[in-house]
Amino acid sequence: MCLDHSTPPPSAQATRRGVMAAAAALAGAAALTGTASGTAVAGERPKTAPQSRPPRGGTMIIDGGTLLDPLTGRTTEDAVVVIEDGIVRAAGTRRATRNDVAAVKGIARIVKAHGRWVLPGLVDAHIHLSTLTEAHTVLRQGVTSVRSGSALFYQDIAVRELARWTPQRAPRVRAAGVHVQPKLGDSILADPDLAPLARRKDGIHADDDLRRIVGVNLARGADAIKTSANGRAGVPDQDPLTRVYDRDQLSTIVAAARRGGASVLCHCYSEKGCHDAVVAGVKSIEHGVYLGERTMGEMRRRGTYFTPTLSAMAGLAEDPNPILAERGRVFLPVIKRAVLRAHEMGVPLAAGSDSAGGTVDPIGREIELMRASGLTALDSIRTATTNAARLIGLERTAGRLARGFRGDAVLIDGDPLRNVSVLKTPDSVISFGFPVGA
């Protein structure tokens, strides 16, 4: 039996109200307005009208340091980066940037970077953001842009909106909303339009039901759609190699997402699951432990990304549960070999920590494991800068410090081209031209 679609998903206007209400619940109305006087009682008009647009970014000069451009691999010693209203105005040698420095010098904050390396803000292409505390922790670790791979109650969409108003507190977010999977669990409560799916005693499999979840996600403002081809590895009573959705069901999800202008990221472990997801048209394979060369060849042809979440696999190996620990010990060397082979075959790789549930792993750990898999230091850094930015649709504004890009940066003590591990603990973080505090 298919759902009755006589009741349409909520309007875009309702979506914006819902997002901002959720954002206020996460951080308080004062975080949105910058003043306690903006707090409103339910059912009443706010005493202070909200700003019509988010505030402009900061104006800053990052003076000195060795600038690394991940795209070209070029390094510039004693470089200067000029950020005006949150956007990079110039980046390069002192001589090349002197006119831009003069244009903002009277109003710019000066950050001394001598003796340090200056890199663009890092990008985490697979994380689960549910609280402002998690978002701020991620930001302090140097991640200034993320793709959130689903949240239980659309919290990632709320964090995305908060980040637009307070970029010093949260990274820029591409949100996936509610995970499209057979058992929604408590996410059935995330939206009234999902409630009819509770009648599906055998789970959510029918095409109309899959389209319904995708449609509700898009109506709530999701930027991407998350689904699965296989079960979960982090749950002891699930087999991560069992099938969840087949190729036809995945194709239905991809088609519905594309009609709404969104791409699909797919949780996969088995070679068959990965191959079906790629042929169905997903944008990226997440985890992909048993990804084989046949599928890698198809990914290269289609431009499908591989987000292996190596640090999550390493974390499994340290889990106190013996079933999970054994999975991690088995999976980690397998996926490291898959990462290297995919890279050799030209499959684009993106870094994702898969952090969730209050524990936030630094994306620098993922870069470190990419390096341990056999990638060069520069290629490992690219997985968390230019590659990840391209995957999540921010290639024109993230992953580099170049004119027109967003003013996001990390200052590092130590040479990341010699030792990528230094990226786990950045010395300073800049978000949209503002310094990020503790």
Sheet holding 305-307, edge to edge: 224-228, 263-268, 284-287, 305-307
Pairing mode of beta strands 284-287, 263-268 = parallel
Distance CA 133, CA 37 (A): 23
Tell me the CATH number at 361. Answer: 3.20.20.140
The verdict on residue 384 lying in a domain is yes
The verdict on residue 187 lying in a domain is yes
Distance CA 146, CA 123 (A): 6
Eight-class DSSP state of 3: P
Count of residues for the chain? 438
pLDDT of residue 54: 87
Distance CA 144, CA 356 (A): 17
Pairing mode of beta strands 434-435, 428-431 = antiparallel
The verdict on residue 203 lying in a domain is yes
What pLDDT digit, counting tens, does each position of 143-184 carry? Answer: 999 999 999 999 999 999 999 999 999 999 999 999 999 999
Residue 141: which domain range?
122-401
| Angle of helix 363-372 versus helix 310-317 axis, rounded to 10 | 90
Flag the least confident range among 1-10, 14-23, 341-350, 395-404: 1-10
pLDDT-derived band at 347 (thresholds 50, 70, 90) equals very high
The verdict on residue 304 lying in a domain is yes
Count of domains in the chain? 1
Tell me the Cα Rg of the chain: 22
286 has which bridge partners? 267, 307
- The residue-averaged pLDDT of 300-312 equals 97
Percentage with pLDDT > 70 across the chain: 88
The verdict on residue 38 lying in a domain is no
Distance CA 292, CA 190 (A): 36
The verdict on residue 414 lying in a domain is no
What pLDDT digit, counting tens, does each position of 225-250 carry? Answer: 999 999 999 899 899 999 999 999 99
pLDDT of residue 5: 32
pLDDT of residue 191: 94
Helix (H) or strand (E) segment spanning residue 268: strand 263-268
Mean pLDDT of the chain: 90
| Long-range pairs for 289-295: beta carbons < 8 A, 24 or more residues apart | 289/233, 289/240, 289/313, 289/331, 289/334, 289/335, 289/338, 290/241, 290/334, 290/338, 291/338, 291/342, 293/341, 293/345, 295/271
Q: Angle at the Cα of 152 (from 364 to 212), degrees rounded to 5?
A: 120
pLDDT of residue 50: 56
What pLDDT digit, counting tens, does each position of 208-231 carry? Answer: 999 999 999 999 999 999 999 999
The verdict on residue 276 lying in a domain is yes
The verdict on residue 113 lying in a domain is no
